[in-house]
Structure 1
């Protein structure tokens, strides 16, 4: 076999080629509105452009392909702020790098919109020089004023999230201060890793901390939405009032793949 043929054979066994090999399996998992060709290109491009991710994918291709399955089931774009692909040192792999997928805040926002119950989702970080006011029971939503042209907004001090439902009602408002976000960060096994979004994209992880809590109070899938609306209607005995009544806390499609208040578990990836 020529050197060129050998190079092609080696390349064809690589992670990007494996993604293509499992294309039909991913196509069966992604929601119908997802363009499978584009999804596969995103997944392959994410590792081709990052040496650490390519090394991690090669170290355990099975773990990598399994993480992509999670992104496919959720209908999120791998290698983006919807679904981060991160290289993680794994004790179970002799501290070699492996890939771990992390649902990002934009991915959770996408799931909420896709469920069809909300007209808008607001999730914003608050910085020291912003003006912020919110009194539960008095205000239906926070008042957040930013001087966009005043220079440095200062360090992050908090984050909030809420949704406006299709009928105009405002969901539960989630407000988190610095201490609360740091408690969530402390639970992440990846917090000290140079590859973690906590260190590469800190503000996005603050936003995720808030939107992940909001996901308890608004539907994240059409299936859960219909089930919860029906159960809620039966509980209050008035179907017509379901639209204007706030939904109770509910299951989320994120519960299995992105446990609430838990960071990625280093080296212990469970199907």
Structure 2
């Protein structure tokens, strides 16, 4: 997948030529589902790059491979279904690190919902704030949830939890909920823990996490969809302490409570957990890091994109 030899061309034009080439178009056509024409997908990719030109400074092969990964997932890198992210990747060793900026495809909330819809599962996720009214219960008919958001108020309170509700083709309902302690623990496990996405859209990232958990409880019979969603979750969690270059930047993270507390218990008390703290500002947060893969490049803009 070599770029055209054009010494005077701008990086953006050179990348656009590769994306619009017959070779790449053929790869997109082979990977994309019938409802997404290759030309439309290519236009969305070029728009994503124009909105975040620093993608042109990252490793080009990882950029093209990430685009192919998005096509294989049947999703658009439009900032809603997914994003093209940049990570500092150590392609050397721990003793002699060599850091390279690489691009990675990351499905977002709408993308996960779209993938589950392809499997016949109707699903949604929502954020719970301190002033919301919420009730969750189980009975012999299954799981239930009632949520009344404090929408028409100047202060809905801090985020105290998220939940996702899914219904399969047979009408079976599954509900997954996470309180703020569980959200923070999941964030710590993500390679994006200190990234701009978590800083600017913490609720959306928490919703994606609870959707991944719900997905494990739903019967997804299509092996390709199941594998795509499993791979997306692994990409979110693929991090190793050895990948972080010294000196480490300490970021204060809320600590989980000593006893597990269900979301309902948090809401009943009407207060967020004592461990809740504001998410660090972008100025405090280091760039996300990622271990280089020994296999083929792992086949999404986040700072100004509307998720």
TM-score range, shorter chain: 0.7 to 0.9
Residues 88 and 266 in structure 1, CA contact (< 8 A), matched pair in contact too: yes
Residue 84 of structure 2: aligned partner: 85
The C-alpha deviation readout for 1:27-53, integer Å capped at 9, x for no partner, is: 110111112111111111111221322
Residue 134 of structure 1: aligned partner: 136
Residue 234 of structure 2: aligned partner: 259
Deviation (angstroms), 1:193: 3.0
Where structure 1 has 5 or more consecutive residues not aligned to the other structure, the ranges are: 226-250
Where structure 2 has 5 or more consecutive residues not aligned to the other structure, the ranges are: 1-5, 93-97, 240-288, 297-307
Cα distance, 1:160–1:65 mapped onto 2, change above 3 Å = same
Cα distance, 1:12–1:86 mapped onto 2, change above 3 Å = closer
Residue 144 of structure 1: aligned partner: 147
More relative contact order in 1 or in 2 (CA 8 Å, sep 6+)? 2
Residue 205 of structure 2: aligned partner: 205
Residues 215 and 252 in structure 1, CA contact (< 8 A), matched pair in contact too: no
Root-mean-square deviation over aligned CA pairs: 2.6
Deviation (angstroms), 1:11: 4.8
1:100 aligned to which of 97, 100, 104: 104
Q: Which structure 2 residues correspond to residues 1-271 of structure 1 after superposition, within 5 A?
A: 7-8=8-9, 10-11=10-11, 14-21=14-21, 22-56=24-58, 60-92=59-91, 94-115=98-119, 117-118=120-121, 120-137=122-139, 140-170=143-173, 172-194=174-196, 197-220=197-220, 222-223=222-223, 251-259=226-234, 262-263=237-238, 266-269=290-293, 270-271=295-296
Cα distance, 1:18–1:200 mapped onto 2, change above 3 Å = farther
Deviation (angstroms), 1:91: 2.6
Deviation (angstroms), 1:260: 8.2
Deviation (angstroms), 1:61: 0.9
The C-alpha deviation readout for 1:63-97, integer Å capped at 9, x for no partner, is: 11111111111101014221211122223284343
1:253 partner SS: helix
How many residue pairs match? The answer is: 233
TM-score for both structures, normalised by structure 1: 0.76
Residues 11 and 56 in structure 2, CA contact (< 8 A), matched pair in contact too: no
TM-score for both structures, normalised by structure 2: 0.68
Residues 88 and 193 in structure 1, CA contact (< 8 A), matched pair in contact too: no
Deviation (angstroms), 1:152: 1.6
